[in-house]
Amino acid sequence: MLSPTYAIPALPPAGVDLETVEVLRALAPAHRHLAELKGSARSIPNQGILVDTLTLQEAKASAEVESYFTTQDELFQAELIPAESISPAAREVLRYREALKRGFGRMQDQQDLLTSSTLIDLFQYMKNSAESFRHAPGTVLKNDRTGKVVFVPPQDNAQITRHMGDLEQFINAPDERRLALDPLVRMAIIHHQFESIHPFSDGNGRIGRILCVLYLVKEGLLDLPVLYLSRYINRNKPEYYRLLQAVRDEGAWSPWIVFMLQAIAVTAESTVRLVHGMRDLMASTKQHMRDELPSVYSQDLLNNLFRHPYTRIEAVVNDIGVSRQTASKYLKQLQEIGILTAQTRGKNTYFVNEPLVQLISEGE
């Protein structure tokens, strides 16, 4: 059996200054932008719209870290057609989005506990597998470019299970133990520990990023899992992996924590701009509908146009409970007054909320 190249530490790591001057300096903007995002998210009347839209963006960016590439257009269309008709990459993204929402739901059901069983459930759902933590030895992490082995995680299932049990206790520690460290510093430590244990045969990066967002919700720093860290990680992928390994090789915790805090600050700030844009666009679209089509306007129909940037007759039928004929009439009237644009892709006709698609795509 291979020998691990890094001794998984007890948490928090002993004898390490985790709140250096650099970390404390990075904490202030991270907390400020997170608090602004939490408040901004509450300004959207229908929180489900925000969860659906922003978790899809996180899913897309997270899949790109793992080299699954798709487009916004394909994803918005794929939400409304049978799974067998969409590409493997889009299918991966949509499963990640549902896994994130699933984890959020399980955590709420478990009184905000974030457990190993939840992470196992997310892995099984994403991979459509009955596997749990790794059993087969031989897992190594290699440099994609050179093929050189850079890290060997724990190989023995009993060790993996024990390390994950310890991590679960650290995540869900009582208040008096949690308060010893800032929750954002704890999040950075938790993410590193999870990636170093590497408990699953696949999907560890994606599940590790879900873990980050759910932990922020658990700690009350967000109400909803709407921060998509994966975009920042994807744009800074070499630095992310370098700092991840530097902790293992050199004990360089401070630069790693600062990187994660910067990821939080940057992505929270950009997400606030997106939420404000969505709020303003919803308000202007609502007024446009009321002015031009007062007999058609309903809050449910407005919600449909923002939950499904590419909507179809069937989606309107399902969401607002009207007949197919009525749904078709509504969509064509919305097209006539310029709120929607009709596009035909193969056998499917979509009615596109182009201003929303443009708004969402601006940050890519």
Domain assignment present for 185 = yes
Q: 206 and 345 in one domain? A: no
242 to 74, 230, 239, 327: CA distances (angstroms): 32, 16, 5, 52
pLDDT digits (tens, 9 = 90+) for 318-353: 999 999 999 999 999 999 999 999 998 778 889 999
At residue 277, φ and ψ (nearest 5 deg) are -65, -40
Domain assignment present for 133 = yes
pLDDT digits (tens, 9 = 90+) for 134-179: 999 899 998 878 889 999 999 999 999 999 999 999 999 987 666 6
Do residues 317 and 277 touch, judged by C-beta distance below 8 A?
Answer: no
Q: Which of 239, 274, 309 is the last residue of a domain?
A: 274
Inter-helix orientation angle 253-292/354-361, to 10°: 170
Q: 51 and 156 in one domain? A: yes
Q: 138 and 66 in one domain? A: yes
Q: Is 143 helix (H, G, I), strand (E, B) or coil?
A: coil
Q: 26 and 91 in one domain? A: yes
Domain assignment present for 16 = no
Known binding-site positions: 66, 198, 202-209, 240-241
- Among the listed residues 351, 347, 318, 353, the one whose alpha carbon sits nearest the alpha carbon of residue 332: 351
- In the prediction, which pLDDT does 263 show? 97
Q: 156 and 72 in one domain? A: yes
Active site residue 198: yes
Q: 307 and 252 in one domain? A: no
Domain assignment present for 204 = yes
pLDDT digits (tens, 9 = 90+) for 231-248: 899 899 999 999 999 999
Mean pLDDT for 219-226 is 94
Q: Which of 274, 304, 337 is the last residue of a domain?
A: 274
Q: Please tell me the total number of residues recorded for the chain in this structure.
A: 364
Q: Which of 242, 274, 306 is the last residue of a domain?
A: 274
Q: 219 and 88 in one domain? A: yes
Confidence bin at 56 (pLDDT 50/70/90) = confident
Query: pTM higher than 0.85 for the full model?
Result: yes
Separation of alpha carbons 58 and 56, rounded Å? 5
Q: Which helix (H) or strand (E) holds 186?
A: helix 183-197
Domain assignment present for 206 = yes
CATH number at residue 28: 1.10.3290.10
Q: Is pLDDT of 83 > 70?
A: no
Separation of alpha carbons 324 and 316, rounded Å? 8
Do residues 294 and 256 touch, judged by C-beta distance below 8 A?
Answer: no
pLDDT digits (tens, 9 = 90+) for 99-114: 999 999 999 999 889 9
Query: Domain range holding 318?
Result: 293-358
Residue 100 tokens read as 């994130």
Domain assignment present for 281 = no
Biggest CA–CA distance in the chain, Å, is 71
Among the options 198, 276, 288, 308, which is catalytic?
198
Q: 255 and 111 in one domain? A: yes
Separation of alpha carbons 233 and 282, rounded Å? 30
- Among the listed residues 129, 150, 341, the one whose alpha carbon sits nearest the alpha carbon of residue 249: 150
pLDDT digits (tens, 9 = 90+) for 261-289: 999 999 999 999 999 999 999 999 999 99
Q: Which helix (H) or strand (E) holds 349?
A: strand 348-352
Domain assignment present for 27 = yes
Do residues 261 and 24 touch, judged by C-beta distance below 8 A?
Answer: no
Mean pLDDT lowest for which of 12-26, 70-84, 99-113?
Answer: 70-84
Do residues 68 and 92 touch, judged by C-beta distance below 8 A?
Answer: yes
- In the prediction, which pLDDT does 82 show? 65
- Among the listed residues 54, 80, 56, 49, the one whose alpha carbon sits nearest the alpha carbon of residue 343: 80
CATH number at residue 335: 1.10.10.10
Domain assignment present for 11 = no
- Among the listed residues 64, 71, 73, 74, the one whose alpha carbon sits nearest the alpha carbon of residue 96: 64
Separation of alpha carbons 23 and 182, rounded Å? 10
Q: 266 and 181 in one domain? A: yes
Q: 232 and 121 in one domain? A: yes
Q: 304 and 158 in one domain? A: no
Residues 6+ apart with CB under 8 A from 26: 257, 258, 261, 262, 265
Known binding-site positions for ATP: 66, 198, 202-209, 240-241
For residues 175-185, b (16+ Cβ closer than 10 Å) or e, as one string?
eeeeeebbbbb
Q: 315 and 255 in one domain? A: no
Report how many domains make up the chain.
2
Separation of alpha carbons 256 and 7, rounded Å? 18
